Structure 1
Amino acid sequence: MYHLYRQQWLNCHLEQAWSFFSSPRNLDRLTPKSVGFKITHLQSEQMHPGQIITYKIKVAPMVWLSWMTEITQVVPMDSFIDDQRLGPYKVWHHCHKFKEQDGGVLMSDEVNYAMPFGPLGKLVHKLYVKQQLQHIFDERARLCDEIFNAATS
């Protein structure tokens, strides 16, 4: 099992952060264009427990994978969890948390994930997946800075 943790301070009120991040459509705005992320099915514009969201992601030129996640837990104004139901990982468990702090919001992402295919999956993680996830979350942090912290940068 692998672990990724990120934390970022946002210059906004908790209500603003929650409204933005609890809207599944904003995933598009926070994902690097190079990932080729496309939502293919969304039951509702408002996140709720049991919500299924399907996507396509580009893993190589002209190679797309389907990915399905379920919102398994929502604690309004505090946290939500998405778990993979179908996709490129053996396990994907992503917890998003929000906490008022220092006149803004401290947002954290904690992802626990596992690769399929045993030793081959470990090699693919080392050679590609780990760096790709770092890039995705680095870009997400940069885009969050643009959206929430532009006035303070």
Structure 2
Amino acid sequence: MPHFELTTALTASPEQVFDACLNVAEHTRSMAASSERTVGGRARGTLAPGEAVTFQARHFGLTWRLTARITSYDRPRRFVDEQEAGPFQRWCHAHHFEPDGSGGTIMTDVVDFASPLGALGRLADAAVLGWYMPRLIRSRNAYLARTF
């Protein structure tokens, strides 16, 4: 199963970054390049433990929908969102937030995913998604860094 980790330094406190990462509007703004929008579940505000949201976005010229649920929540240290429905066989994104000692935050994204369709999915993961997904999360994190 593909796995990657990204670390991003942010100038805001862990509480601020944690809340921004769970804010539906902030998420859709951070993913504007893929025309992401909310089409189900909580459409506004901040996601709470157990809540789900469905996003629709364009990637590779196709429209995709992904429903994610907050399955673990420890404010302001960590939360996990997992796909309930969508294009992946598995999608699990753990978000970790640690104080940097000077008022900012070290945010670490830990992502595990797998495409469906057996060998064909593994080929897609290796050939395309293995570089595309980290790039997408880096882009979101750059938006957060600019916001703070």
Q: Do they fold alike, i.e. is TM over 0.5?
A: yes
Following TM superposition, where does structure 1 have runs of at least 4 consecutive aligned residues deviating by more than 6 angstroms? Answer: none
- The worse-fitting range, judged by mean Cα deviation, of 81-90 and 125-134 is 125-134
* Helix, strand or coil at the partner of 2:128: helix
CA contact (8 A) 2:2 2:114 kept: yes
- Count of aligned pairs: 146
Larger-Rg structure: 1
- The CA RMSD over aligned residues, in Å, is 1.7
Residue 5 of structure 1 is matched in structure 2 by: 5
Q: Report percent identity of matched pairs.
A: 22
Q: What 5-or-longer segments of structure 2 have no aligned partner?
A: none
Q: C-alpha displacement at 1:32, in angstroms?
A: 5.1
Deviations 1:39-82 (A, max 9, x none): 11232622212211001121333x21221111111111111110
Instruction: Quote the offset at 1:2 in angstroms.
Output: 0.9
Please give the alpha-carbon distance, in whole angstroms, between the structure 2 residues aligned to 1:41 and 1:25.
13
SS of equivalent to 1:25: helix
Show structure 1 runs of 5+ residues with no match.
Answer: 149-153
CA contact (8 A) 2:64 2:87 kept: yes
Question: Does structure 2 retain, via aligned residues, the 8 Å contact 1:37–1:57?
Answer: yes
Other-structure match for 1:92: 91
Task: State the alpha-carbon separation in 2 of the partners of residues 138 and 76 from structure 1.
Answer: 22
Aligned to 1:15: 15
- Return the letter of the residue paired with 2:142: R
Matching residue of 2:73: 74
2:129 corresponds to 1:134 = no
Q: 1:131 to 1:32 in 2, by over 3 A?
A: farther
Separation in 2, partners of 1:98, 1:74? 12
**Partner residue in 2 for 1:38:** 37
